[in-house]
């Protein structure tokens, strides 16, 4: 007898460094989706998330908690968190059963902020492969705090960790510059928002660094690393202020295109939805342009100085 095939289900895997806005994004995205009539379920897979701004439909804490692991195995908070995710990987049947009980809702997975989970630890990619096998069509939404744009060295490090994450998770992937309303909080950006969002002409970042004998090698290393990021041609960003519905809707449109939701789920999949998608095509320029006008009106104030 043939095994029953699980129905196709869609969702987002929300990742990013600590404090980048993942939980706030999940709450805001759930509100937006409900507003558009899309039934949604929130799944908290961050075992260190103690106070959630939303009622999770499924919580990893029902399976394992960081406190229990720290106490039982005498691990520190970071080791305990990694253990929790590895424990989840060993108990995927639990997760899949609990997800099945949520019906065909669109799923928002709130993941922890430990970057090693997304750059080299194997548990998260294995969890994602199991979800894919269970017919989940997921987009990784990687939130990066936009204040990193104001420092060339930090932005290079963001580009490298983002690229590593994309290669490691191997999902359709949307990178988001979160808290775009605070982009210039720590000083004016050197370039316009399009420079940081479109990730092109990166040699200009290295040119911002001092060229004295002390830092020359650092500058050369920066140029090589940015060349590597450009050669892959994978990294770009969508700007987001979670309180601004227009930027949230733009992120959702990018996510829907990436995981195929835009082409229609199940029975709705038709030539009409494909055509509607083509007509509604939005270019990266439009996505970034509106946010740039609103949040970085100087268009990168320091370049001319
Ligand atoms: N101004 C502004 N603040 C934001 C935005 N998104 C999130 N924040 C704030 O950023 C802080 C961190 O947000 P969280 O959602 O807790 O971040 P997180 O990534 O879930 O954090 P961890 O669970 O520690 O990994 C909170 O104070 C949020 O209110 C935004 O778009 N604009």
pLDDT digits (tens, 9 = 90+) for 34-75: 999 999 999 999 988 777 777 899 999 999 999 999 999 999
Q: How many domains does one find in the chain?
A: 2
ipTM: 0.97
**Are 219 and 265 members of one domain?**
no
**How remote is the CA of residue 223 from the centroid of ligand 1, in Å?**
31
120 and 228 in a single domain? The answer is: no
The answer to whether residue 301 is domain-embedded is no
| Tokens encoding 218 | 């650092």
**Domain residue limits at 229:** 200-234
Residue 189 lies in a domain: yes
Q: Best mutation site among 14, 19, 59, 143 for ligand 1, i.e. most ligand atoms within 8 A of its Cβ? A: 19
Per residue in 225-246, pLDDT (tens digit) is 999 999 999 999 999 999 999 9
Pair 175, 248 in one domain? yes
Please state, in angstroms and as integers, the Cα–Cα distance from residue 115 to each residue in 14, 76, 95, 129, 257, following that order.
Answer: 13, 16, 22, 19, 26
Give a yes or no: residue 62 inside a domain.
yes
What residues contact 274, with CB distance under 8 A and at least 6 apart? 263, 264
Cβ(181)–Cβ(246) under 8 Å? no
Taking the C-alpha atoms of residue 173 and residue 23, their distance in angstroms, rounded to an integer, is 18
Does some domain include residue 240?
yes
1 within a domain of the structure (yes/no)? no
Residue 145's nearest CA partner among 40, 253, 275, 239 is 239
> What is the Cα–Cα distance from 263 to 151, expressed in whole angstroms?
39
Pocket of ligand 1 (CB under 6 A): 16, 18-24, 46, 49, 113, 178-179, 181-182, 240-242
Residues 141 and 215 in one domain: no
Q: Give, for ligand 1, the residue of 16, 17, 21 to mutate: max count of ligand atoms closer than 8 Å to Cβ.
A: 21
Is 250 a member of any domain?
yes
Query: Do residue 181 and residue 207 come from a single domain?
Result: no
Pair 123, 219 in one domain = no
Q: Are residues 140 and 181 in the same domain?
A: yes
| One domain, residues 229 and 181 | no
Give a yes or no: residue 138 inside a domain: yes
Q: Are residues 228 and 108 in the same domain?
A: no
- Of the candidates 45, 137, 27, 115, which has an alpha carbon nearest to the alpha carbon of residue 87? 45
Q: Taking 60 as the threshold, does the pLDDT of residue 99 lie above it?
A: yes
CA angle 103, 104, 105 (to 5 degrees): 95
Interatomic CA distance for residues 285 and 250, integer angstroms: 12
Looking from the CA of residue 112, the nearest atom of ligand 1 is 25
Are 225 and 259 found together in one domain?
Answer: no
Q: Which atom of ligand 1 is nearest to the CA of 178?
A: 31
Q: Residue 119: which CATH number?
A: 3.40.50.300
Same-domain pairing of 39 and 95: yes
Q: What is the tens place of the pLDDT at every residue in 71-87?
A: 999 999 999 999 999 99
Looking up tokens 């805001």 gives 28
Structural contact between residues 138 and 132, judged by C-beta atoms closer than 8 angstroms: yes
* Among protein residues, the one whose CA lies closest to atom 30 of ligand 1: 179
Closest to 283 measured CA to CA, from 219, 248, 236:
236
Q: What tokens appear for 72 in the block? A: 């039982």
Compute the distance between CA of residue 141 and CA of residue 161 in angstroms, rounded to an integer.
14
Separation CA 238–CA 250 (nearest Å)? 8
The per-residue pLDDT for range 255-300, each reduced to its tens digit, is 999 999 988 765 555 555 555 555 555 655 666 777 777 787 766 6
What's the CA-to-centroid distance between 145 and ligand 1, angstroms? 9
Whether residues 38 and 65 share a domain: the answer is yes
CB 189 within 8 A of CB 150: yes
């Amino acid at each position: 007898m043939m095994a029953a095939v699980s129905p196709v289900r869609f969702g987002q895997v929300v990742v990013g460094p600590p404090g980048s806005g993942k939980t706030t994004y999940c709450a805001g995205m759930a509100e937006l989706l409900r507003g558009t009539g899309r039934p949604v379920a929130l799944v908290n897979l961050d075992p260190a998330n103690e106070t959630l701004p939303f009622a999770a439909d499924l919580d990893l804490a029902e399976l394992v908690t960081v406190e229990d692991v720290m106490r039982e195995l005498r691990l520190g908070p970071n080791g305990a968190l990694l253990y929790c995710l590895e424990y989840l990987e060993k108990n995927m049947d639990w997760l899949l059963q609990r997800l099945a009980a949520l019906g065909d809702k669109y799923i928002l997975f709130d993941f922890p902020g430990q970057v090693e989970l997304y750059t080299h630890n194997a548990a998260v990619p294995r969890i994602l492969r199991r979800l894919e096998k269970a017919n989940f069509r997921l987009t990784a939404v990687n939130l990066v705090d936009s204040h990193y744009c104001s420092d060339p060295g930090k932005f290079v490090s963001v580009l490298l960790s983002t690229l590593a994450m994309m290669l490691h998770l191997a999902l359709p992937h949307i990178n988001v510059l979160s808290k775009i309303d605070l982009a210039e909080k720590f000083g004016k950006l050197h370039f316009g928002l399009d420079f940081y969002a479109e990730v092109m002409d990166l040699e200009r970042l290295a040119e911002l660094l001092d060229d004295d004998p002390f830092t020359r090698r650092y500058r050369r290393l920066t140029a090589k690393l940015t060349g590597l990021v450009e050669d892959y041609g994978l990294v770009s960003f969508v700007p987001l202020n979670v309180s601004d519905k227009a930027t949230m809707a733009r992120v959702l449109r990018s996510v829907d295109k990436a995981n195929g939701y835009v082409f229609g789920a199940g029975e709705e999949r038709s030539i009409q939805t494909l055509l509607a998608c083509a007509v509604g095509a939005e270019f990266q320029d439009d996505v970034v342009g509106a946010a740039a006008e609103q949040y970085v009106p100087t268009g990168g104030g320091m370049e001319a100085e």
